[in-house]
Amino acid sequence: MAGRRDWTRETLAAGVRSGDRRALARAITLVENGDPLAYDVVRDLYPDTGGAYAIGLTGPPGVGKSSLISALVRHVRERGTSVGVVSVDPSSPFSHGALLGDRIRLSDHFLDPGVFIRSMGTRGHLGGLAEATLQALLVLDASGKELVFLETVGTGQSEVEVIGIADTVLLVLMPGSGDSVQALKAGIMEIPDVIAINKMDHPAAKTMLNEVRSILSLGPAAREGDREWRPPIVLTEATRGENVAELWEKLAAHRAYLEDSGQLEARRAKNLAGEVFSVASARAKEHLEHAVSGDPELERLLEAVQRRELDPMSAVREILEKVFHIGDGAR
Ligand SMILES: Nc1nc2c(ncn2[C@@H]2O[C@H](COP(=O)(O)OP(=O)(O)O)[C@@H](O)[C@H]2O)c(=O)[nH]1
Ligand SMILES: [Mg+2]
């Protein structure tokens, strides 16, 4: 990279605060790599966070999450809102060369100083993707971005952990994403705040809309006093920008609902606590797996269980004692 320089904790934090793109890029790379400098910098920046509004997008691969983000970025940039994007989708990263659809050219956003877009991978992160996403959000927040989009692929538990830090959660579906509809129906997936059924140009879009509508009508609406929030469903066509303004209105309405009902603070507090817990759990799990695989004594314990010489719960107790020094009563 041209103009490469060695950043220190101080220059990097100051660079991020002033919105310097190279500082941002460097800080997020350090976050992605789990570099110790990243922890120091985020620690310094944390008091400057809380100003950004975070919108998390999740949904199956290929439904058009990245395309929708790109269309939404275009929409909010018309009002001058500064935007950060973190996409946690190692399978199809945002890239400078990407050309999505007819109207949405991501490369335009890469040239826009008010937009910072970044894809993140999994590179051996102790706290998993949830940790990297949280740290990247904090960096973008501290840099003064007013709005941050977080994209994650899938609709399972780990995806919820990744975007669990978002203020508003947008689920993106398309005609034919039956698995996600089943997950909604079975209550495996939490009810999102807003749902977009993208690729409305597809003939089965209306059928999908009715299906999702009927599932939502079964569940209770979120309630705060006499106000309530029912997740709106918007049909969109991201590649042509169709109904993107409407989708943005619904996202803004959800934000207004949270703010007016006093729930935004409560949600943020809950999200932060949840995120800390989820990262701590991921680290503990990593530590446990690492300890067991490198320790012949612990491996012998597992073999004893397999040979039915030791019962599973006794093995659990011994492992917890040895690895975490958690004694009796830890059940
Ligand atoms: N026909 C149609 N194609 C779309 C639409 N939105 C996205 N796509 C295409 O669907 C593919 C996957 O889009 P992408 O945004 O990468 O999906 P992601 O995996 O959910 O992020 C790309 O080829 C897009 O051009 C849409 O509204 N209609
Ligand atoms: Mg994507």
| Residue 160, H or E segment | helix 157-163
Please report the pLDDT score of residue 20 as a whole number.
94
Ligand nearest to the CA of 71: 1
Closest-CA residue, ligand 1 atom 17, reads 64
Q: How far is Cα 309 from Cα 311, in angstroms, rounded to an integer?
A: 7
CA of 119 relative to ligand 2 center, distance in Å: 9
Q: Tokens standing for 244?
A: 């993107």
User: What are the beta bridge partners of residue 117?
Assistant: 85
Distance of alpha carbon 111 from its chain centroid, rounded?
24
Please report the pLDDT score of residue 55 as a whole number.
97
Q: How far is Cα 38 from Cα 100, in angstroms, rounded to an integer?
A: 32
Please report the pLDDT score of residue 283 as a whole number.
85
Nearest atom in ligand 1 to the alpha carbon of residue 200 is 27
Please report the pLDDT score of residue 103 as a whole number.
43
| Residue 173, H or E segment | strand 168-173
Instruction: Render 190-252 in DSSP notation, one character per residue.
Output: PPPSEEEE--TTSTTHHHHHHHHHHHHHHSPPEEETTEEE---EEE-BGGGTBTHHHHHHHHH
Instruction: Provide mean pLDDT across the span 69-74.
Output: 94
Q: At what angle do helices 21-33 and 128-142 cross, to 10 degrees?
A: 160
Pocket test for ligand 1, best of 177, 239, 246 (most atoms within 8 A of CB): 239
Closest-CA residue, ligand 1 atom 2, reads 199
CA of 63 relative to ligand 1 center, distance in Å: 6
Closest by CA position to 2, among listed 17, 21, 15, 18: 21
Tens of pLDDT, residue by residue over 260-295, are 999 999 999 999 999 898 888 888 988 898 888 889
Q: Is the CB of 244 under 6 A from ligand 1?
A: no
Please report the pLDDT score of residue 102 as a whole number.
39
Tens of pLDDT, residue by residue over 190-215, are 789 999 999 999 999 999 999 999 88
Q: Is the CB of 62 under 6 A from ligand 1?
A: yes
Q: Is the CB of 65 under 6 A from ligand 1?
A: yes
Report, in this order, helix, strand and coil percent for the chain, each rounded to 5: 55, 15, 35
Is the CA virtual torsion 9, 281, 287, 87 positive or negative?
A: negative
CA of 69 relative to ligand 2 center, distance in Å: 9
Instruction: Provide mean pLDDT across the span 219-247.
Output: 83
Closest-CA residue, ligand 1 atom 1, reads 199
> Hey, what amino acid is at 72?
L
pTM check: above 0.85: yes
Closest by CA position to 152, among listed 95, 89, 94: 89
Pocket test for ligand 1, best of 67, 170, 173 (most atoms within 8 A of CB): 67
Q: Is the CB of 64 under 6 A from ligand 1?
A: yes
Ligand nearest to the CA of 64: 1
